[in-house]
Structure 1
Amino acid sequence: MLALGIICAIGASALYNTSVALQALEARDVGHEHALRMSLIGRLVRNPRWLVATLIGLAGWPLEILALLFAPLTVVQPCLASGLVLLLWLGVTKLGEKPGRREYGSVALIVLGVAGVAFAAPERTTSDAGTVPIAIALALVTIPVVAPYVFRRRAGAAGTLAIVASGFGYAWTAIASKLLTDELSDGSLIVAAIWLATAAASEGLALLSEMSALGRRPATQVTPVMFAVQVVVPVILAPLIFEESWSGTPGGGTVLVFSVLLAIGGVVLLAGSKAVGAVIETAHAEEIEAVQAEVEEEAEKSDSVSPAPHVDA
């Protein structure tokens, strides 16, 4: 069952990143004269390839749910990040980026890390630490998710705060997905539906934060932090709230921890590479331009309402 879970997780990651890749290719074909205009939306909606890309991304989530039904969260999260290799391939073959030692080394770390996690995987569980620990953990995860919106008018809210918020938002989605699968295993469909709703909400907030961050920072600064947070947070919480015991794994958990760190290191290095950053920025070019235009518009409004300096007679 573990092998099937890993296959589903890697498959989900491939679908997620295939969606980004297709959007990147399609964004290059949309004329700049449509940027920031309603005609852009109509143009993309009428474009079969854009719609297919979106549907492919949505199809990844059911595979992620299947992965969590067969494998522990500790294993699934690192596997979900492996699809970055696909974006590297696209950046090299379609955008003309040149891979170097960083890119090759990153791929090697991801492969070794995922293989190590698969080898030292803990047992999948459907039990948890109880309502109170889960509530506390989710409350702590929620704080950075909503922080950019609470402090929206403060400088840096859409920068560093938004980057961190996107990672924690995607982490919430992973945790909610795990809770959803546990409820499905227990036959609690109503509770599972509630977790489904929270997963959808957190995914939406995470995407909005990601787009806001990409509108102000280059992808090479946004994606490493975002991917690191969305992998690390669920993995750390897995033994605490889902009782995924690491002590019974090879080396008393040492091999597992080392493998997770290898995978995370590879993900961070690869996400911060120019080749992957170019693909992400191309895929979300229109959204990024929209955010930048909104920032400029707000700045102009702020300047226009600023009081004129007082001049003494």
Structure 2
Amino acid sequence: MTLLAVALALVAAVLFAAASVAQHHVAAADTGEPLVRRLARSPLWWVGTFGDSAGFAVQAAALGVGSLLLVQPLLVTTLLFALPLGARWAGRRVTRLEWVRAPVLVASLAVFVVVGEPGGGVDRAPARDWLPTGTVLAAVVAGCVAVALLRRGTARALSLGVAAGVAFGVAAALVKGVVNLIGDGPLTLLTSAETWVLVVAVAGGTAAQQWSYSAGDLSASLPAVTVGEPLVAAVIGLLVLGETIRADGPEWVLIGVTVVAMVVATVSLARSSARPAATPVGPGPDDRGR
């Protein structure tokens, strides 16, 4: 089951990477048109949305057979696939430093999975177990929305990125329970509170993410989303769903170092992915056919 969860998580990462590159290109382009209208009229944005939906479906399958602590960290490999795609789209080269950061991320993930052996836990938890963690996360999202409404530029983009990361992390945790409900029939699925909270979390996260793309520098919002989702999902896995990391003594030190390295590499790669064109490498997608 672990190998299947890993394989599915990596497939989801590829789909998310392709979708992210497409949506960044559309949402970040300032044409003077209202954001919602611009997105709705863009075929490329709808292609990206389809890729996101497919990625979410595969992610749900991965969470159906694996733990949050295993699947969610693996999804940061989205950056490894998005980096060359985004660089090609933006008309720039992937730098040597970026190629160095990529193996650091891969090695950190491998050590975390092998040494920590994340697993265990339950698919669903009662509302009383969700209440303390859920209250804190709701307060974080509310604070981020307040900042986004009051500020502009980098502060708005960062706050929206954090809100999106929190929403997607909550959604990932809820997916485990909703997948478990599918076997009980459509009536149970549609009348479960978890299903509708999941819908709200996905819709809210998507709206915040799209808003963040046009609110300011992408290098502010993208790292927040990319790091926030697995971090929030891991916290929920540990505090709400009872998942575990199997480690003793010095292994905790090693895991701590790998988590720090993972976060640093993720933030660095996310900022690189958001960097605008620097070195032309040939005609970009917008130049074809002209």
TM-score normalised by the chain length of structure 2? 0.78
- Cα offset for 1:50? 4.6
- Map 1:63-78; keep pairs closer than 5 Å: 63-78=58-73
Alignment RMSD, CA only?
A: 3.4
What's the counterpart of residue 89 of structure 1? 84
Counting aligned pairs with the same residue, the percent is: 18
Question: 2:122 is matched with which residue?
Answer: 126
CA contact (8 A) 1:144 1:161 kept: no
Distance 1:118 1:155, change over 3 A: closer
Match of 1:262 in 2: 261
1:248 CA drift (Å): 4.9
Corresponding letter in the other structure for 1:89: P
Shift, 1:193, TM fit? 4.7
In structure 1, the residue matched to 2:167 is: 169
4+ residue runs of structure 1 moved beyond 6 angstroms? 185-188
Q: Deviations over 1:199-237 (max 9, x none)?
A: 221222223223333333211122122222222122133
Q: Residue in 2 aligned with 1:15?
A: 15
1:100 to 58, 80, 95: 95
Matched with 1:140 is: 136
For 1:197, what is the secondary structure of its paired residue? helix
Structure 2 runs not aligned, ≥5 long: 278-290
Report 1:258-297 matches (<5 A): 258-273=257-272, 275-278=273-276
Q: How many residues align?
A: 272
Name the SS for the 2:197 alignment partner: helix
Q: AA paired with 2:208?
A: S
Partner of 2:91, secondary structure, is coil
Q: How many Å separate the matches in 2 of 1:191 and 1:250?
A: 45
From the superposition, tell whether residues 95 and 201 of structure 1 become closer, same or farther in structure 2 (CA, over 3 Å). Answer: same
Distance in 2, Cα, partners of 1:91 & 1:185 = 39
Q: Which structure's CA Rg is the greater one?
A: 1
**What does 1:1-313 correspond to in 2, within 5 Å?**
1-23=1-23, 27=26, 32=31, 35-36=33-34, 40=38, 43-44=41-42, 47=43, 50-120=45-115, 121-126=117-122, 130-150=126-146, 153-155=149-151, 158-184=156-182, 189-190=188-189, 193-248=192-247, 253-273=252-272, 275-278=273-276
SS at match of 1:158: helix
Q: Which runs of 5+ in 1 are unaligned?
A: 280-313
Residue 249 of structure 1, CA deviation: 7.1
Shift in Å, 1:259: 3.4
Contact 2:144 2:162 in 1 (8 A): no
